Amino acid sequence: MDLPYAEPYRIKMIEPIRRSSQAEREAWLARAKYNLFNLRSEEVYIDLLTDSGTGAMSSAQWAEIMLGDESYAGASSYYKLKETIADLTGLPFFLPAHQGRAAENVLFSALIGTGEEGRGKVVPGNSHFDTTKGHIESRHAHAVDCTIDEAFDTELDHPFKGNIDLGKLETVLKAHRREDIPLCLITVTCNSSGGQPVSLENIRATAALCRRYGIPVFLDAARFAENAWFIQQREASCAGMGIKDIVKAMFAEVDGCAMSSKKDGIVNIGGFTAYRGEELFRKAMGFNIMYEGYNTYGGMAGRDLGALSVGLREACEADYLAARIGQVAWLGQALVDAGVPVQRPFGGHAIFVDAKRFLPGVRKEEFVAQTLGVEVYREGGVRGVEIGAVLADRDPETRENRYPALELLRLAIPRRTYTNDHMAYVAATLIRVFERRKAITRGYRITWEAPILRHFTAEFAPLS
């Protein structure tokens, strides 16, 4: 029998977290108006709100923090990062940015345009991340979702639910003039479809198809290393390849990328764009200087550039990825074994609980996943995030609530931050709520909401 995987690191520094009583949590929930974003972090025992910027840095990364070169131009920390990115991705040009959406802003300014230049243009891809979509739509362009249909069935097992449907993509490519398709964007792993990977074969086929139509292809590379791990585990033709070779092969197909370094960069803040061609790089440079800062720091401190140069390499280590994705799967399996309905197969960074099947007694108008999120916090001080009708917001024209097909509670796992004992606690908390699910029949009404992006700040009152 194979030995089980275990974390390829030990703990040198700890950060205390505190368990609270049910009475304390009840008071905090009322004060927070039942919106988990309004809780103070000390009021949360295990925080699974997001995996973005919440990971733990290694001793090697902290050492780079101390070596950080804060020179305005030509800092050594910049050159360390440049070398890492060129080495891992094969892309010779890069521009730092302060986070992923800032990188998108720079890339899209160069490719789609600014002001009215984007009107009538389309950006096909697999389910675009919400800030990505925001940056496309704010330029009056359209993000066209070409993800395979299998991605939308939470119970269907498919190894690469992030894949692009080539038929859907070709329909888009045929229906528009070449100059109206500034790029095709492949998000790895596909965050919006649950951290589901894209196969190398699909990246290659997508790139080949786009090349035939003269359309550049870019990666939204926030979780490129996790995607490479899934390719190694699930794609027969890649089984013998190392993670770094797979990463190289993924990037070899594309013209560049935008990355949120808060994910597989394992840093708390940062991002970048990278380019194969010098012409586009030079064009993007103008926007980077305007929005982010000079080319060799781009909105990041020198120390953070240095920490990122190490984090990107650590994220590609096979033992790290096995423990990382193994931990997410461990939590998923613990929930499945107890009968808790979760999305299958498990994604790379989060477990998605199917709130409609968990709480069939709560009406959609009373916000099912929001209700489940509050119950899980109330039970054990565990914070997840609602991906349902609150997030879906109102229709911009009719102002009616939009009710998405799925009501999900996302449990995102920060990198290298919690132990499997914490995961056992999370599972036990959810199972306790599951055991009393029949008694949960009423949800919430909104008492205040902002005109856009209401989920962050909305206030709720319980219905009874």
When CB distances to ligand PLP are compared, the closest residue is: 100
Q: Tell how far CA 173 is from the center of its chain.
A: 27
* Residue type present at position 394: R
Phi, psi of 8 (to 5 degrees): -85, 45
Closer CB to ligand PLP, 141 or 430, in the complex: 141
- Is 127 a binder of ligand PLP (CB under 6 A)? no
CA distance 301 to 386: 33
Interface of this chain with ligand PLP, residues 46 to 65, rule: CB under 6 A? 52
Which of 381, 388, 464, 387 is CA-nearest to residue 430?
Answer: 381
Could you confirm whether 222 is annotated as catalytic?
yes
Could you confirm whether 157 is annotated as catalytic?
no
Interface of this chain with ligand PLP, residues 261 to 320, rule: CB under 6 A? 262-263, 271
96 preceded by cis ω (within 30°)? no
**Of 51, 145, 220, 264, catalytic:** 220
Total binding residues for ligand PLP by CB under 6 A?
Answer: 15
CA distance 122 to 142: 5
Coil/strand/helix, residue 353: strand
Interface of this chain with ligand PLP, residues 328 to 387, rule: CB under 6 A? none
CA distance 291 to 273: 13
Reported as half-sphere exposure (CB side, CA atoms, 13 A), residue 413 has a value of 30
Closer CB to ligand PLP, 25 or 262, in the complex: 262
Could you confirm whether 130 is annotated as catalytic?
yes
Choose one: 85-93, 94-102, 284-292, 420-428; the region binding ligand PLP (CB under 6 A): 94-102
Closer CB to ligand PLP, 220 or 314, in the complex: 220
DSSP codes of every residue in 229-278: HHHHHH-GGGTTS-HHHHHHHHHHTSSEEEEETTTTT-SSS-EEEEES-H
Among the listed residues 28, 78, 108, 129, the single contact to ligand PLP using CB under 6 A: 129
CA distance 284 to 298: 12
CA distance 93 to 91: 6
Beta-carbon count within 10 A of 212 CB = 10
Interface of this chain with ligand PLP, residues 195 to 224, rule: CB under 6 A? 220, 222
Closer CB to ligand PLP, 50 or 327, in the complex: 50
Among the listed residues 54, 105, 132, 202, the single contact to ligand PLP using CB under 6 A: 132
Task: Kindly give the pairing relationship between strand 217-220 and strand 184-187.
Answer: parallel
Could you confirm whether 142 is annotated as catalytic?
no
- Is 187 a binder of ligand PLP (CB under 6 A)? yes
**Of 130, 213, 249, 364, catalytic:** 130
Closer CB to ligand PLP, 84 or 126, in the complex: 126
- Is 260 a binder of ligand PLP (CB under 6 A)? yes
Could you confirm whether 455 is annotated as catalytic?
yes
- Is 422 a binder of ligand PLP (CB under 6 A)? no
Residues with catalytic function: 72, 129-130, 220, 222, 263, 455
Site residues, ligand PLP (CB under 6 A): 52, 99-101, 129, 131-132, 187, 191, 220, 222, 260, 262-263, 271
